């Protein structure tokens, strides 16, 4: 298996940001087709396609849509909310989709909205994505002029308005309930579930939330039929995914692959391997929130079940390649700093635990930690795990615990040798994380002890 | 009354509930106030959306892109998350610090440029990602920095 | 009015014990019913739906892999829950959370006000780790800062349970106390260090489960083991919130709420909570005073004072007028009424509130407001200022989905001042509905449950709203509750006491000399009408707590007491008689005793002891049947027409003798502002915050402009204390 372009098809040869070009390759035919079908029939195709969410959790899209009440049974309006907040470290595939095939994406939004009987959709777009915002707004405008969205879409009698809502820099707003809070104009702190968004989401109304890539598959599924789509990929992992490849690899970028392709193919055959004659040390296969794989595990196939078997997750499809210059304590520290910075502050274990993790990791890296404190670190991870309001705490604890588990001797050497065995030569040496810089928001100084 | 007030009403009209417009309204106010949100801005947004200034500030302070203290006319943001850091983000950052003469988190004395590090910008495959006035430059290597800084001063 | 919802019973199992519980009841409460305690910090059902933030309540639920926050769970059939008592996993989880909470919490319990009554201290004592594994510096913040003159915030102690901010956002909806920043740098704050200035701010002190929010009036005053709590009722407004008066060494050290779920759900306004220090005001009158020369007073013995009072009254014969405050207990009012009516033979009285007894037909607990489909608020006085807790109930009703419509000059429907009676008439069946009331009329007439709130001084005692209520009940088949808000705390009880001696009351003579005037209490003494009468009276007998201008025109002054020093009965705005208890003993006799002794000299025997019957948590007497005589004959009180803008005076909650004597409450008093409609400001080129001159025949006030987009054009509002001397119509112009 190799590159299998479905979503990004034709994007190399044509400017698919232009409506005419997109229509020339069959664009918006799926919307017409879906409008001519019963809503339930479209839903059946999505169920048959067995497409799992591309945002991170991997929940089957068709099933999630089927939890929503039928529009005729709902006293409240039904909303479609698009998660375009892409912020999982290592992930930049939604951005590629929005920049290069914006019409495919919004066509997916239109079809999904129609399928669930929604007349209002919101695209929650990561605030930093400025060019992407302009591209999406332009595409929506073209689509509106062509009658694909707005009042009485293609004469079907169905109205749809789409609002692009820009975020403002908070990772937690990618978590679906944090996103809803933010979209309602609150601080983006997650809500307890249940109730799930399908029952009570945006403005306490039934809401379907899907990732950009998930929605971009919808026109393809409608076009090919669910069964044909399901034939792509492997069992429990149907279809293609756009993988974001980054880190110590020759050709970083996005690669659309059939699920089940091995990590090795992606890193070596497509990504050109590790540059500078270095050795592969570790791979983070699904964004920084997932446990790490060692070089020995590089043959693991990129699908949900294989990753689970290897003790990790496919997550957002962000593959971060790490070569042998990287100190795994520094990696742990940098990852923990990210989660500390992004913890929303609502629940105790995440807010307090991520900060404590950073303190402990800093001490270990500085060579000042005792043996006991390494155990405390693992125990802190353990005490965060499964105790938080949303998965962010787990997303900090799981990877760090995996670094210690898989590179225990490196951690041990920091303690035994009273310092970093890389002697200042690690690729992550001295990286300044936003939590450590004087930050306008942080009026009360956070005391993170610095080195001697 | 004021133009900002009216523009915020337009934003609010896009949503079923006007409170949803608080983020876009804060963004507008930030643009009007030279890139940051002075206390006055929270009063204006609050008045337009029938929210308290305290509420507006509570919201703004949750997000990294709202500035609660004055910033330079230009903003340089260097991603130092894992993927960029693995390929030398720290060296890029230091190049900016040298070239601008400030530390990350600070603004140049002439009030022209604010330099800061940010978490993953979403361009990891093309690291190091640097956003200059919110437009991404990817990849940036330390040797590209002097030209970028010069461009800031010239393009001013 | 209370809709009895049949609650389905379900079976749940907690720590192996089965229990039948109403479906949907919170699991914390369900466990408590079995005697099982689930520790909580953030959970507080009065603050809205559970948020599951602190995670202290983690429990194991059969069938779920992860521990669940029990506070977010409700009883569903077959739910099997295991708490830390029987589940090792839950116990590990709880220990983890407690360790995280304590991580940055200072261990300064010995000099923390919360010490001894602190949930965190208690839980740490019971479940907490013996030692800490945290060897890093704790998070530090600036030392305790005042977030208002009433409340201090010690951020280091804050465990970020968000109770206080949820109160501010979801209950009082003042939006002033908020969380700022994110993650580990989150903290509680007000805007730009401005004071937390809101009517209910003090509740956050009671909500805070640690010593992060403390009251400046109680800080370091007492330790929990040196105090006594006396259950009584707040006597500062007609709501009658139930309170504990905490006393130490015979002095009131603080006031805490005592939750009466039908009246106030445990919330108190800041006046009720913080005004108690007026008891110790330096200008308090402690001994009887008799005027000796033209201007001077002399302290005299009780006997001499009574003799002087008797002489003055005897000389007046039956030419006596009595002015009530509305702060008297029922017993006291009755004694005074008997003295005047039976002993002196006069029925001339100024009652602060009148009361139409027929309104009892629409009696309902305040909590029924929350269950209404439509709440209609009528009258020019802001509910928040007149009976603050009613405002909380209205907000709760709106959150529950009710349509809450206020018809007044700054309401949802901006009607002219003084037109509430016309609004009532227009909503009655068959009436000609003006266009601006069409939608409201449809709503009100189409609703199953309607709450009518009447909020202004009303010489008819609420007959207009009563007529509307009976019309709705009869012609629209609605369940109607009426809440006519008296002006004074026990104005209703005083009116009932007067009436209990038989119908009959005459107004004081409009002009000419008066034989004697009896002024009962400081509030009556502050009434301009009373001052005018005093000028015509040959003899003035006053009871008052405080020395001030008004006592200067009295001939005999008897020392008054506060509601915290008296036994007796108060009838609140619902019509609920409640018992006041003496929390601290006054220096001398109280008013009831004075009046009884005086009455005796006029041949009226009054039992000097109050005979309170009401229980600790008083019940509301059932509503009476009553046939309203329709239509209401009273024509609306027209207001002066003419040039200029129409002035509406707002009687602020934070005003009056008690508030004026508590230094920490001064910031809550109304600022010198004039509220202006947007259009009126625009035509006069007045901007927000500018100083303007408000003038009417000879009197000019310089006030700051507050522009209100919701205020009816042609109307201005000024707090009564800043409007002294102004007429009903004023000129407004930019100053300078
Ligand atoms: C901390 C956190 C961050 C997340 N960030 C994102 C994100 O940036 N984009 C995204 O699509 N999903 C993100 N998710 C997953 C969403 O909660 C949600 O599962 C997803 O949007 C559902 O869409 P899907 O079913 O199409 O994947 C995040 C989840 C968590 C817990
Ligand atoms: S101040 Fe008290 S009530 Fe408010 S969040 Fe902190 S601990 Fe909770
Ligand atoms: S009490 Fe349940 S999470 Fe706080």
* Ligand 1 pocket mutation, candidates A58, A82, A211, criterion most atoms within 8 A of CB: A211
- C719 pLDDT tier (thresholds 50, 70, 90): very high
Separation in Å, CA of C183 to nearest CA in chain A: 4
Q: Touching check for C187 and chain B: CB below 8 Å?
A: no
For ligand 2, atom 6, which residue shows the shortest CA distance? C158
User: What pLDDT, in 10s, does the model give residues C570-627?
Assistant: 999 999 999 999 999 998 899 999 999 999 999 999 876 555 555 667 787 776 655 5
For residue C213 and ligand 2, the question of a CB distance below 6 A is answered with yes
On the 0-12 / 13-18 / 19+ scale of CB atoms within 10 A, C336 is: buried
* C42 Cα nearest atom in ligand 2: 8
* Ligand 3 pocket mutation, candidates C54, C68, C81, criterion most atoms within 8 A of CB: C54
CB atoms within 10 A of CB C129: 12
Q: Which of A314, A288, A255, A248 is nearest to A89 (CA)?
A: A288
Q: What is the chain C residue with the closest CA to A388? A: C55
Tell me: pLDDT of C666 over 90. yes
- The strands making up C145-146's β-sheet, listed across from edge to edge, are C145-146, C151-153, C213-215
**R_g of chain A computed on alpha carbons:** 23
Q: pLDDT value at position C596?
A: 93
Mean pLDDT rounded to a whole number for chain C? 91
User: What pLDDT, in 10s, does the model give residues B91-103?
Assistant: 999 999 999 999 9
For residue C324 and ligand 2, the question of a CB distance below 6 A is answered with no
DSSP A52: B
Ligand number nearest CA of C141 is: 2
Distance CA C130, CA A245 (A): 48
- C14 pLDDT tier (thresholds 50, 70, 90): very high
| Paired sense of beta strands C403-407 and C374-378, if any | parallel
Place of tokens 């009254």: C313
Q: Which two tokens stand for residue A254?
A: 């996005």
Helix and strand element counts for chain B (H, E)? 7, 5
Q: Touching check for C293 and chain B: CB below 8 Å?
A: no
* A213 Cα nearest atom in ligand 1: 26
Q: Which of A209, A196, A176 is nearest to A109 (CA)?
A: A209
Q: How far, in Å, from the CA of C220 to the mean position of ligand 3?
A: 30
What is residue C349's three-state secondary structure?
A: strand
Q: What is the chain C residue with the closest CA to B2? A: C687
Ligand number nearest CA of A174 is: 1
Residues of A in contact with C181 (CB under 8 A): 345, 441-444
For residue C119 and ligand 3, the question of a CB distance below 6 A is answered with no
Q: pLDDT value at position B154?
A: 80
CA angle C15, C95, A191 (to 5 degrees): 80
Ligand number nearest CA of A124 is: 1
Distance CA B30, CA B26 (A): 6
Q: pLDDT value at position A443?
A: 33
Check residue C217 and give left, alpha or beta (phi > 0: left; psi -120 to 50: alpha): alpha
Q: pLDDT value at position C220?
A: 66
What is residue C709's three-state secondary structure?
A: coil
Q: How far, in Å, from the CA of A388 to the mean position of ligand 1?
A: 16
Are C168 and C178 spatial neighbours (Cβ–Cβ below 8 Å)?
A: yes
CA C662 to mean position of chain CA atoms: 17
User: Taking CB atoms and an 8 Å limit, are B57 and C190 in contact across chains?
Assistant: no
User: Taking CB atoms and an 8 Å limit, are B23 and A431 in contact across chains?
Assistant: no
Separation in Å, CA of A176 to nearest CA in chain B: 16
Check residue C482 and give left, alpha or beta (phi > 0: left; psi -120 to 50: alpha): beta
Residues of C in contact with A444 (CB under 8 A): 139-142, 155, 181, 185, 187
* C51 Cα nearest atom in ligand 3: 3
Helix and strand element counts for chain C (H, E)? 20, 32
Candidates C147, C165, C180: best to mutate against B (most CBs of B within 10 A) is C180
Q: pLDDT value at position C3?
A: 42
Tell me: pLDDT of C4 over 70. no
Q: Which of C175, C190, C192 faces B51 most closely, judged by CB atoms?
A: C175
Instruction: Please state, in angstroms and as integers, the Cα–Cα distance from residue A424 to each residue in A429, B67, B98, B141, C165, following that order.
Output: 6, 34, 20, 20, 46
- The strands making up A207-211's β-sheet, listed across from edge to edge, are A161-166, A120-125, A79-84, A207-211
Q: pLDDT value at position C109?
A: 82
For residue A189 and ligand 1, the question of a CB distance below 6 A is answered with no
CA C30 to mean position of chain CA atoms: 32
| Paired sense of beta strands C289-291 and C556-559, if any | antiparallel
Q: Touching check for A275 and chain B: CB below 8 Å?
A: no
**pLDDT higher at A163 or C636:** A163
Ligand number nearest CA of C70 is: 3
Q: What is the chain B residue with the closest CA to A91? A: B122
- A452 pLDDT tier (thresholds 50, 70, 90): very low
Q: pLDDT value at position B142?
A: 96
- C1 pLDDT tier (thresholds 50, 70, 90): very low
Candidates B52, B63, B119: best to mutate against C (most CBs of C within 10 A) is B52
Separation in Å, CA of B76 to nearest CA in chain A: 13
For residue C52 and ligand 3, the question of a CB distance below 6 A is answered with yes
Ligand number nearest CA of C101 is: 2
Tell me: pLDDT of C131 over 70. no
For residue C159 and ligand 2, the question of a CB distance below 6 A is answered with yes
Q: Which of A167, A248, A441 faces B87 most closely, judged by CB atoms?
A: A248
**pLDDT higher at C735 or B85:** B85
For residue A343 and ligand 1, the question of a CB distance below 6 A is answered with no
Helix H or strand E segment including C213: strand C213-215
Tell me: pLDDT of C223 over 90. no
Percent of chain C residues past pLDDT 70, beyond the cut: 94
- A280 pLDDT tier (thresholds 50, 70, 90): very high
Q: Touching check for C457 and chain B: CB below 8 Å?
A: no
Mean pLDDT of A263-292: 96
CA angle C252, C255, C258 (to 5 degrees): 135
Q: How far, in Å, from the CA of C67 to the mean position of ligand 2?
A: 24
Mean pLDDT rounded to a whole number for chain A? 94
Are A2 and A265 spatial neighbours (Cβ–Cβ below 8 Å)?
A: yes
Q: pLDDT value at position C614?
A: 55
| Paired sense of beta strands B74-79 and C289-291, if any | unpaired
Tell me: pLDDT of C308 over 50. yes
User: What pLDDT, in 10s, does the model give residues A51-110?
Assistant: 999 999 999 999 999 999 999 999 999 999 999 999 999 999 999 999 999 999 999 999
Mean pLDDT of C43-63: 96
- A438 pLDDT tier (thresholds 50, 70, 90): low
Mean pLDDT of A44-52: 97
Q: What is the chain A residue with the closest CA to C68? A: A387
**Chain C adjacent subunits, 3+ CB pairs under 8 A:** A, B
Those residues with Cβ within 8 angstroms of residue A158's Cβ, 6 or more apart along the chain or in another chain: A35, A114, A119, A152
**Chain B adjacent subunits, 3+ CB pairs under 8 A:** A, C
Instruction: Please state, in angstroms and as integers, the Cα–Cα distance from residue B156 to each residue in A139, A299, B73, B133, C293, following that order.
Output: 31, 51, 9, 12, 84
User: What pLDDT, in 10s, does the model give residues C156-203?
Assistant: 999 999 999 999 999 999 999 999 999 999 999 999 989 999 999 999
Q: Touching check for A338 and chain B: CB below 8 Å?
A: yes
User: What pLDDT, in 10s, does the model give residues C373-392?
Assistant: 999 999 999 999 999 999 99
Mean pLDDT of A150-170: 97
Tell me: pLDDT of C134 over 80. no
- The strands making up C80-82's β-sheet, listed across from edge to edge, are C17-22, C9-14, C80-82, C58-61, C68-69
For residue C160 and ligand 3, the question of a CB distance below 6 A is answered with no
Instruction: Please state, in angstroms and as integers, the Cα–Cα distance from residue C285 to each residue in C252, C302, C502, C661, following that order.
Output: 18, 13, 34, 13
Distance CA B106, CA B121 (A): 20
Q: pLDDT value at position A430?
A: 94
User: What pLDDT, in 10s, does the model give residues A341-364?
Assistant: 999 999 999 999 999 999 999 999
Q: Which of C669, C671, C662 is nearest to C216 (CA)?
A: C662
Tell me: pLDDT of C10 over 80. yes
Q: What is the chain A residue with the closest CA to B80? A: A433
Interchain CB contacts (distance < 8 Å): B and C: 35
User: Taking CB atoms and an 8 Å limit, are B52 and C181 in contact across chains?
Assistant: no
Q: pLDDT value at position A358?
A: 97
Are C33 and C19 spatial neighbours (Cβ–Cβ below 8 Å)?
A: yes
Q: How far, in Å, from the CA of C403 to the mean position of ligand 3?
A: 32
Distance CA C677, CA C675 (A): 7
For residue C71 and ligand 3, the question of a CB distance below 6 A is answered with yes
Are C375 and C405 spatial neighbours (Cβ–Cβ below 8 Å)?
A: yes
- A4 pLDDT tier (thresholds 50, 70, 90): confident
For ligand 3, atom 1, which residue shows the shortest CA distance? C40
Concatenate the DSSP letters of all residues of C656-695 into one string: SHHHHT-GGGGGGSPPSEEEEEHHHHHHTTPPTT-EEEEE
User: Taking CB atoms and an 8 Å limit, are B55 and C179 in contact across chains?
Assistant: no
Distance CA A198, CA C526 (A): 60
For ligand 2, atom 2, which residue shows the shortest CA distance? C208
Beta strand ranges found along A52-206 (DSSP E): 79-84, 120-125, 161-166
Distance CA A141, CA A103 (A): 11
């Amino acid at each position: 298996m190799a590159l299998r372009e479905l979503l990004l098809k034709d994007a190399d040869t044509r400017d698919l940001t232009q409506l005419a070009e997109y229509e020339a390759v069959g664009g918006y035919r799926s919307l017409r087709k879906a409008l001519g079908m019963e809503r339930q029939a479209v839903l059946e195709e999505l169920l048959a396609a067995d497409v799992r969410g591309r945002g991170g959790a991997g929940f089957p899209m068709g099933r999630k849509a089927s939890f929503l009440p039928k529009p005729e049974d709902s006293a409240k309006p039904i909303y479609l909310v698009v998660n375009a907040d892409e912020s999982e470290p290592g992930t930049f595939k939604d951005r590629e989709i929005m920049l290069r095939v914006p019409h495919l994406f919004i066509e997916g939004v239109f079809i999904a909205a129609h399928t669930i009987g929604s007349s209002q959709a919101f695209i929650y777009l990561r605030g930093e994505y400025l060019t992407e915002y302009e591209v999406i707004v332009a595409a929506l405008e073209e689509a509106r002029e062509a009658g694909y969205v707005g009042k009485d879409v293609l004469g079907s009698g169905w109205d749809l308005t789409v609002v692009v809502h820009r975020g403002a820099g908070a990772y937690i707003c990618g978590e679906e309930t944090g996103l809803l809070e933010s979209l309602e104009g609150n601080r983006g702190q997650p809500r307890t579930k249940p109730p799930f968004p399908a029952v009570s989401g945006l403005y306490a109304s039934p809401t379907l939330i899907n990732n950009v890539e998930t929605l971009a598959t919808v026109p393809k599924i409608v076009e090919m039929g669910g069964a044909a789509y399901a034939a792509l990929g492997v069992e429990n992992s149907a279809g293609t995914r756009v993988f974001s490849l980054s880190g110590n690899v020759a050709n970083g970028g996005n690669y659309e692959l059939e699920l089940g392709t091995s990590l090795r193919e992606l890193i070596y055959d497509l990504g050109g391997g590790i540059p500078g004659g270095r050795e592969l040390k570790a791979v983070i296969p699904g964004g920084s929130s997932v446990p790490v794989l060692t070089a020995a595990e590089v043959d693991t196939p990129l699908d949900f079940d294989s990753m689970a078997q290897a003790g990790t997750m496919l997550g957002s499809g962000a593959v971060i390649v790490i070569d042998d210059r990287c100190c795994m304590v520094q990696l742990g520290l940098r990852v923990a700093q990210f989660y500390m910075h992004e913890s929303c502050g609502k629940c105790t274990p995440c807010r307090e635990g991520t900060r404590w993790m950073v303190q402990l990791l800093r001490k270990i890296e500085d060579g000042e930690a005792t043996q006991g404190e390494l155990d405390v670190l693992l125990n802190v991870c353990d005490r965060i795990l499964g105790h938080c309001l949303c998965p962010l705490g787990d997303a900090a604890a799981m990877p760090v615990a995996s670094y210690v588990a898989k590179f225990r001797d490196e951690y041990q050497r920091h303690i035994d040798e009273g310092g970093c065995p890389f002697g200042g030569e690690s690729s992550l040496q001295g990286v300044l994380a936003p939590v450590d810089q004087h930050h306008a928001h942080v009026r009360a100084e956070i005391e993170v002890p610095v080195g001697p | 009354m004021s133009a900002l007030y009216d523009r915020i009403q337009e934003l609010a009209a896009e949503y079923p509930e006007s409170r949803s417009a608080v983020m876009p309204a804060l963004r507008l106010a930030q643009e009007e106030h030279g890139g940051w949100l002075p206390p006055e801005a929270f009063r204006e947004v609050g008045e337009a959306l029938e929210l308290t200034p305290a509420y507006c500030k509570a919201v703004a302070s949750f997000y990294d892109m709202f500035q609660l203290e004055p910033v330079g006319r230009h903003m340089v943001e260097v991603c130092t998350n894992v993927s960029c850091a693995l390929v030398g983000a720290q060296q890029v950052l230091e190049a900016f610090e040298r070239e601008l003469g400030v530390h990350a988190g600070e603004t140049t004395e002439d009030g022209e440029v604010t330099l800061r590090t940010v978490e993953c910008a979403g361009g990891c495959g093309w690291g190091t990602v640097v956003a200059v006035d919110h437009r991404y430059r990817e990849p940036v290597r330390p040797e590209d920095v002097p030209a970028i800084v010069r461009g800031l001063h010239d393009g001013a | 009015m209370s809709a009895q919802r049949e609650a389905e019973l379900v079976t749940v199992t907690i720590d192996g014990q089965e229990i039948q519980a109403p479906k949907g009841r919170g699991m914390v409460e369900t466990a408590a019913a079995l005697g099982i305690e689930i520790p909580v910090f953030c959970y507080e059902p009065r603050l809205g739906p559970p948020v599951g933030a602190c995670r202290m309540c983690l429990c194991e639920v059969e069938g779920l892999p992860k521990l669940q926050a029990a506070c977010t769970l409700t009883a569903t059939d077959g739910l099997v829950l295991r708490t830390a008592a029987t589940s090792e996993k839950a116990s590990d989880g709880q220990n983890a959370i407690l360790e995280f909470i304590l991580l940055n919490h200072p261990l300064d319990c010995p000099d923390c006000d919360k010490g001894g009554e602190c949930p965190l201290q208690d839980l740490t004592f019971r479940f907490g780790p013996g030692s800490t594994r945290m060897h890093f510096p704790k998070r530090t913040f600036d030392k305790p800062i005042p977030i208002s003159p009433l409340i201090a915030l010690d951020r280091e102690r804050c465990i970020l349970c968000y109770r206080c901010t949820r109160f501010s956002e979801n209950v009082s909806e003042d939006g002033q106390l908020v969380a700022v920043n994110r993650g580990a740098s989150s903290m509680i704050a007000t805007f730009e260090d401005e004071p937390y200035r809101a009517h209910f701010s003090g509740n956050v002190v009671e909500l805070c489960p640690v010593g992060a929010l403390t009251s400046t009036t109680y800080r370091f005053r007492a330790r929990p083991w040196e105090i006594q709590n006396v259950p009584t009722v707040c006597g500062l407004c007609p709501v009658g919130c139930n309170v504990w008066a905490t006393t130490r060494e015979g002095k009131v050290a603080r006031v805490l709420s005592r939750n009466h779920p039908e009246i106030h759900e445990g919330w108190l306004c800041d006046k009720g909570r913080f005004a108690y220090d007026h008891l110790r005001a330096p200008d308090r009158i402690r001994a009887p005073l008799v005027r000796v020369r033209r201007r001077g007073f002399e302290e005299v013995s009780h006997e001499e004072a009574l003799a002087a009072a008797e002489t003055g009254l005897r000389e007046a014969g039956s030419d006596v007028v009595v002015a009530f405050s509305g702060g008297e207990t029922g017993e006291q009012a009755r004694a005074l009424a008997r003295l005047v009516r039976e002993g002196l033979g006069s029925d001339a009285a100024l009652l602060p509130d009148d009361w139409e007894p027929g309104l009892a037909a629409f009696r309902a607990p305040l909590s029924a407001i929350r269950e209404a489909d439509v709440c209609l608020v009528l009258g020019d006085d802001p509910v928040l200022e007149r009976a603050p807790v009613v405002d909380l109930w209205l907000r709760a009703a709106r959150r529950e989905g009710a349509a809450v419509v206020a018809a007044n000059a700054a309401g949802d429907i901006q009607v002219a001042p003084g037109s509430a009676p016309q609004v009532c008439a227009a909503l009655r069946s068959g009436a000609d509905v003006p266009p601006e009331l069409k939608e409201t009329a449809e709503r009100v007439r189409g609703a199953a449950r309607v709450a009518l709130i009447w909020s202004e001084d009303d010489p008819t005692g609420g007959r207009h709203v009563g007529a509307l209520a009976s019309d709705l009940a009869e012609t629209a088949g609605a369940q109607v509750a009426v809440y006519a808000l008296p002006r004074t705390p026990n104005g209703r009880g005083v009116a009932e006491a007067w009436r209990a001696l038989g119908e009959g009351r005459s107004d004081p003579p409009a002009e000419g000399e008066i034989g004697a005037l009896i002024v009962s209490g400081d509030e009556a003494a502050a009434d301009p009408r009373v001052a005018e009468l005093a000028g015509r009276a040959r003899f003035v007998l006053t009871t008052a707590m405080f020395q001030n201008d008004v006592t200067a025109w009295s001939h005999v002054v008897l020392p008054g007491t506060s509601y915290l020093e008296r036994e007796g009965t108060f009838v609140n705005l619902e019509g609920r008689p409640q018992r006041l208890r003496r929390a601290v003993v006054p220096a001398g006799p109280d008013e009831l005793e004075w009046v009884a002794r005086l009455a005796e000299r006029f041949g009226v025997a009054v039992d000097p002891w109050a005979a309170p019957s009401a229980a600790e948590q008083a019940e509301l007497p059932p509503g009476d049947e009553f046939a309203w005589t329709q239509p209401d004959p009273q024509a609306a009180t027209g207001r002066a027409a003419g040039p200029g803008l129409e002035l509406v005076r707002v009687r602020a909650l934070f005003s009056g003798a008690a508030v004026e004597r508590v230094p920490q409450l001064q910031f809550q008093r109304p600022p010198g502002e004039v509220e202006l409609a947007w259009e009126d400001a625009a035509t006069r080129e007045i901007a927000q915050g500018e100083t303007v001159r408000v003038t009417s025949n000879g009197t000019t006030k310089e006030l700051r402009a507050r522009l209100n987009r919701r205020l009816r054009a042609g109307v201005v509002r000024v707090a009564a204390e800043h409007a002294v001397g102004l007429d009903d119509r004023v000129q407004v112009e930019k100053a300078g």
